[in-house]
Amino acid sequence: MNRLSRFSFPLVFAVVASGAAMLLAGSLPAQPGPAGKPAAAPQQAQKLSASAIQVERTETAEDLQVPEDFRISTYENVILQLEKTRKFKQVYRSGDRRAAEVPDLIIMRLVPQAFKEGSQKQREVTTVSGATSIKIKVTFAHRDGQVFLEKDIDGKVRFFGENLRATYDFAKKVAEVVNDNF
Amino acid sequence: MKTSSAQVSPEVVSNPGGFVRRSVRTAGVGVFVIAVLFAALFSPVSSGQPVVPQASGSNSISGVTCVIGCGSIKPNSKGTISVVPSGLEFATSKATADISTASIDDIFTGNQSRQDISGLGGTAVKAAIPYGGGRVLSLFSHKVEVLTVEYVDSYGGFHGAIFVLPEGQATAYKDLLVAQGARVNAHVEPPAAEEKKP
């Protein structure tokens, strides 16, 4: 028994070491070398900067009825989350006159694309149905109206929480987009 | 020196599986009873008759939730909402938010329902009940009214505040604010969302 364990230890060690070596060798090509770095570099270079952003109030769509509390909650949550990112010195609200004095102002517009109001009770009882979702097109534009970034972002509440929580989820995703691009 | 040994019931020794099952069942029933008591204690009065504004102010209701948009007050804070001569006031134990009547651009009301047992504690209780008993508790809900107030600040910046009030109160508050001179645009109120039966 003792002799067996004496022989088995180097054997196990050899197997483990060779496995580790193979894993290491396999991972090497995936690591970006000096030639692979440019993939990340342009993203860094493309980061935008602006001292202030103005959030326009959530627009209304003719063919899409979004309740007013959802529109307001979306607008207010986006402002709260943008302030938390600390990417801008000032986050202006729609209609704020002070924004006119900022030379490098960015204007964010929120255009609802889809909306489905679920039910909290249905969600909690069935688990699989009753989700609330909202999909909004978010555009970032210069003062002259030139759009330089546009994304469709959705907010959802699937299991627990009230319907308006979908707007919080949406705002968190908007903040992620801002963090990635500014 | 005295020593004592724990007495083990011969029934437990002979059938340990049954003992565990009984214990789990007893614990489940216990949690269910606690949850039902919890629901009975914390369910709002609004399920019965409409809440009459309390006498603390001229027109004030306590236990109102400000979902978002109340200035420096954290979202989903509970407090007291009042209609004062200058406009609308929402106060918590820490801060107060004021919306002057002149600054109000529009007011919306809507009906919704809220779970009787909600929040982190309620969710934990529901999850703790075995055999899907938590889902039964999810069936208990009450109607609420949502008051959405749109207003502008001194720089012209647009704001929106959302309050959750007991059923029947949001419309009364809207009427009070309109009587004070708040602007309200003509808009078609969307039909009340019917609670879908699961």
Helix (H) or strand (E) holding A175: helix A165-181
Burial of A126: CB neighbours in 10 Å, binned 0-12, 13-18, 19+: middle
Domain that holds residue B173: 12-180
Domain count across chain B = 1
What is the band of B192 on the pLDDT scale with cuts at 50, 70, 90? low
Q: What backbone torsions phi and psi does residue B193 show, to the nearest 5 degrees?
A: -65, 120
% residues pLDDT > 70 (chain B) = 65
Contacts of B114 in chain A (CB under 8 A): 120, 162
Which residue is listed with tokens 């949502």? B146
* Nearest CA among B150, B97, B149 for reference residue A95: B150
CATH of the domain at B49: 2.30.29.30
Quote the pLDDT of residue B9. Answer: 57
Q: In this structure, is residue B5 part of a structural domain?
A: no
What is the band of A30 on the pLDDT scale with cuts at 50, 70, 90? very low
User: Domain map of chain A by residue range?
Assistant: 2-31, 50-181
What is the band of A72 on the pLDDT scale with cuts at 50, 70, 90? very high
- What kind of fold does domain A50-181 have according to CATH? Rossmann fold (3.40.50)
Cβ of B150 and A129 within 8 Å? Answer: no
Q: A35-67, pLDDT tens digit by residue?
A: 444 444 454 557 888 999 999 999 887 788 899
What is the band of A23 on the pLDDT scale with cuts at 50, 70, 90? low
Cβ of B68 and A65 within 8 Å? Answer: no
Q: B126-138, pLDDT tens digit by residue?
A: 777 777 777 777 7
Token pair, residue B47, equals 């399920």
Quote the pLDDT of residue A64. Answer: 87
Q: In this structure, is residue B7 part of a structural domain?
A: no
Residue B156 vs residue A11, higher pLDDT? B156
Residue A147 vs residue B37, higher pLDDT? A147
B111/B116 Cα distance (integer angstroms): 16
Q: In this structure, is residue B185 part of a structural domain?
A: no
Token pair, residue B96, equals 């107060």
A112 touches chain B (CB under 8 A): no
DSSP B83-107: EETTEEEEE-SS-EEEEEGGGEEEE
Q: What was the ipTM of the complex prediction? A: 0.73
Residue B10 vs residue A24, higher pLDDT? B10
